Amino acid sequence: MANAGPPAGPEREVLSFEDALDRLEAIVDRLERGELALEDALATFEEGVGLSRRLGEQLGGAERRVEELLREGAGLATRPLDAEPD
């Protein structure tokens, strides 16, 4: 069966970061239970991949914004977000 267009799942809706993350966690739980038929599992996995990519892009954008704000601050230096403070 051919897909007639982009997925119509929640990843196409306007979800907050937190709502999208909750949706992704629910998808992972459903897939881990292994109770879905193959076609449903593939569609669910595809939705999860889309959400994961979107969340990654949002996190990358937030990191860039934080780094820019730190650069603009007087005397503040940037460091990776996962680095220990001095």
Determine if the pTM surpasses 0.75: no
Our count of domains for the chain comes to 1
Q: Is 52 part of any domain?
A: yes
Q: Is 80 part of any domain?
A: no
CA–CA separation, 52 and 32 (whole Å):
16
Q: Is 27 part of any domain?
A: yes
Helix (H, G, I), strand (E, B) or coil at 18: helix
pLDDT of residue 79: 67
pLDDT of residue 24: 97
pLDDT of residue 2: 39
Q: Is 8 part of any domain?
A: no
User: pLDDT in tens for each of the 86 residues of the chain?
Assistant: 334 344 455 445 689 999 999 999 999 999 999 999 999 999 999 999 999 999 999 999 999 998 888 777 756 666 676 766 65
pLDDT of residue 71: 78
**Residue 27 belongs to domain with CATH number:** 1.10.287
Domain holding 29, by residue range, is 16-70
